[in-house]
């Protein structure tokens, strides 16, 4: 209907389009920006630049300017996301590192079998894992997340080192802290803390076993 109205004709200068059933609430008119822009976000930014200019603006120039703005904003958002991820990683243990540290071959070699295991990690699982010190973003499926959660619960009942203890002590050079007891890991962290956060003299982190 709009296309018919936009057809040129002798003496025709204007088009009045009356929307009696509110179709414009669901559909947008195709504007010239759509023809030159790569995606809807850039096209919308072009439209806004044209409106803001008031006196008019070259369409190609507006598109190039809008594209630069959108790319800069997307890059800035990605940089913030990566920085937040790196910050989160600093205080969390990578699942593969965790599997090797606690010497759990079933985690390292896990392959999903059932359909539900192949699904993505749920938000509930992710919250639990990160609360207990595991970096969940690299876990590929729901089944592996479930297996790691079971390991965490079982190790807690058995009084073994936590992921956060593993992360800290292994970052200081200790090996396979996942095989240590919670009390042994706590004792070593306390000894390091009381020594101004230096490893006590006479302790070789690479070969130390409690």
Q: Find the length of the chain.
A: 210
Q: Over the Cα atoms of the chain, what is R_g? A: 29
Reported as a pLDDT band with limits 50, 70 and 90, residue 105 is confident
Q: pTM here? A: 0.54
Stretch among 26-30, 108-112, 115-119 having the lowest mean pLDDT: 26-30
pLDDT at residue 82, rounded to an integer:
56
**Least confident interval from 3-17, 79-93, 122-136, 143-157:** 79-93
Q: What is the tally of helices (H) and strands (E) in the chain?
A: 10, 0
**What confidence score (pLDDT) does residue 49 get?**
83
Query: Once rounded to an integer, what is the mean pLDDT over residues 171-178?
Result: 90
Look over the chain and give the mean of its residue pLDDT values, rounded to a whole number. 86
Query: Quick check: 98 pLDDT over 90?
Result: no
Separation CA 82–CA 70 (nearest Å): 18
- A 10 A CB-CB count for 45 gives 21
Average pLDDT over residues 158-185: 92
In this structure, the dihedral spanned by the alpha carbons of residues 36, 42, 48 and 51, taken in order and rounded to 10 degrees, is -10
Percent of the chain with pLDDT over 90: 38
Q: Which pLDDT value is given to residue 66?
A: 86
What pLDDT score does 88 carry?
Answer: 55
Q: Is the pLDDT of residue 162 over 90?
A: yes
185 in helix, strand or coil?
A: helix
CA distance 155 to 161: 8
Q: pLDDT tens for residues 5-44?
A: 888 999 998 988 888 888 777 777 777 788 888 778 888 8
| Secondary structure string (H, E, C) spanning 6-50 | CCCCCCCCCCCCCCCCCHHHCCCCCCHHHHHCCCHHHHHHHHHHH
Report how far residue 117's alpha carbon sits from residue 96's, in angstroms, rounded to the nearest whole number: 18
pLDDT in tens, 51-90: 887 766 788 888 888 888 888 887 787 677 656 655 555 5
């Amino acid at each position: 209907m709009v296309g018919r109205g936009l057809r040129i004709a002798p003496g025709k200068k204007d088009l009045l389009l009356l929307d009696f059933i509110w179709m414009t609430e669901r559909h947008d008119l195709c504007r010239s920006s759509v023809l030159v822009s790569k995606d809807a976000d850039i096209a919308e930014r072009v439209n806004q630049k044209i409106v803001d200019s008031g006196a008019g603006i070259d369409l190609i120039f507006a598109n190039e300017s809008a594209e630069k703005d959108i790319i800069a904003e997307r890059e800035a958002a990605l940089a913030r996301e990566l920085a937040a991820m790196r910050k989160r990683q600093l205080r969390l243990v990578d699942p593969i590192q965790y599997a090797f540290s606690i010497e759990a071959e079933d985690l390292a070699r896990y392959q999903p079998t059932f359909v539900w295991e192949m699904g993505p990690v749920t938000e509930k699982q992710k919250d639990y894992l990160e609360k207990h010190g595991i970096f969940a973003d690299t876990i590929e499926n729901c089944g592996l997340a479930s297996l790691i959660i079971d390991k965490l619960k079982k190790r807690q009942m058995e009084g073994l080192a936590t992921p956060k203890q593993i992360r800290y002590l292994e970052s200081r050079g200790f090996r396979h802290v996942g095989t240590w007891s919670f009390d042994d890991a706590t004792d070593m962290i306390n000894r390091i803390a009381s020594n101004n956060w230096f490893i006590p003299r006479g302790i070789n982190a690479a070969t130390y076993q409690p």
